[in-house]
Structure 1
């Protein structure tokens, strides 16, 4: 089936609840409150609350407030939240949701990403995104995966580009979040781009790309560029 001839395309399935095992991280779709205390502790390590600056919720005053939020948000609605559990600790320290699913058109978004300080800029956080992307394109067969963020959220914009998402434009005055205007930057990966991105992720995640202290030898962007140049 070509990109233009979609007569045989069938609606995609919604994300399920099977965990995904990686080398440095485990992805667990959130189906109960098992990981809530761990997530609260991990997020609370950011005493400034900056990890919530561009999210519609948080920071949280205490464990009870977070638990009430998590019960309603992580387990309610039409978003499938995933707990990100680094292999080195075995405790959840981040979340990411597959959301705004459009099965008929094969489109879905990854969002509501919140990473504790301990998870940021780690191989585990990158592998987590790779595993979720792989599920979207290979297991579920979606045609398009979107990434949207506040246009002012420079770290999120840089992360989207680093992971291989392409910038597609900015929706001005798109939302009101915490009493402030949000212009929303849109990024996406489409299915025909995925094989090259997967190859770059796998090459970057190879243990040979890291020293004894876990520092990378090559950046993901450089690995991807080298693979594309050699294609």
Structure 2
């Protein structure tokens, strides 16, 4: 059984570092440091998982299993803790900032200079604030300006309008809808597409909105658009 008190090394295809500005810190997510606080942040709000292919995590063991099997075992993933620096909080485990959620890079392919922003889990009290835009912006700046990536993508259930609009506001371009991309658990039927074949009901599926941002778009002005979005106060 995994133990939240035992840290494990970050395992990612690129060297990882802390990212920050005056509003937000992104710190590599080490369960020994952040898991209990994240569990406490998310557990009261299972609706945060409505469109996600994981969770809600009902026990700490479920959360730790997910973190280990994705954020650690797969080198294409790196999960960051999002810390809100505007709250003037100095925590005894991680220092400056109040835990606001998580954000990750996933499906990273170094040989293709590409990655994907995902696992954006922001606590209720931090939604519709500066937190998401600054967390996404810091990752984009790192990906394009430091790692030299050519493509960063964003996927979402096409029904998840808030997620799609968040990406568009940050400068991602809607590339299309990938039909029947995923099989969804039966409990997610309300946000999936019904399947009935040969007179029998099957587990639902998901149509995914695909959005992308590209290195030439970034250098042609999207970097300034992202910086403006991060700096907004309303």
Q: Same fold (TM over 0.5)?
A: yes
Match in the other structure for 1:116: 123
| 1:201 Cα deviation from its structure 2 partner | 2.8
User: 1:81: which partner in 2?
Assistant: 79
Equivalent-residue separation in structure 2 for 1:156 and 1:204 (angstroms):
16
- Asked if structure 1 preserves the Cα contact closer than 8 Å seen for 2:115 and 2:153, the reply is yes
Provide the C-alpha distance between the structure 1 equivalents of 2:103 and 2:218, rounded to a whole number of angstroms: 19
Cα RMSD (Å) of the superposition? 1.9
1:221 aligns with: none
Residues 204 and 146 (structure 1), Cα distance of their counterparts in 2 relative to 1, 3 Å cut: closer
Deviation per CA, 1:22-75, whole angstroms, max 9, x where unpaired?
A: 1111001224431111111111242xx111011111112233432343333333
Kept in 1, the 8 Å contact 2:171–2:226? The answer is no
CA distance in 2, matches of 1:114, 1:66: 13
TM-score of the pair, normalised by structure 2: 0.77
The answer to whether the 8 A contact 2:175-2:212 is kept is yes
Cα displacement (A) at 1:124: 2.0
Runs (5+) with no aligned partner, structure 2: 1-11, 90-96, 187-203
Corresponding position of 1:198: 223
Structure 1 residue 39 corresponds to structure 2 residue 38: yes
> How many Å separate the matches in 1 of 2:23 and 2:216?
27
- What is residue 5 of structure 1 aligned with on the other side? none
Deviation track 1:172-192 (CA, whole Å, cap 9, x = no partner) reads 111112233011111000011
Structure 1: segments with no counterpart, 5+ residues = 1-12, 211-215, 217-231
CA distance in 2, matches of 1:86, 1:156: 20
Q: 1:205 to 1:55 in 2, by over 3 A?
A: closer
Which moves more between the two structures, 90-99 or 160-169?
A: 90-99
Structure 1 position 185 matched with structure 2 position 209: yes
Summarize the Cα distance change of 1:32–1:66 in structure 2 as closer, same or farther, 3 Å threshold.
closer
Q: 1:18 to 1:194 in 2, by over 3 A?
A: same
More strand by share: 2
Which residue matches 1:161? 168
Q: How many residues align?
A: 195
- Which range moved further: 60-69 or 114-123? 60-69
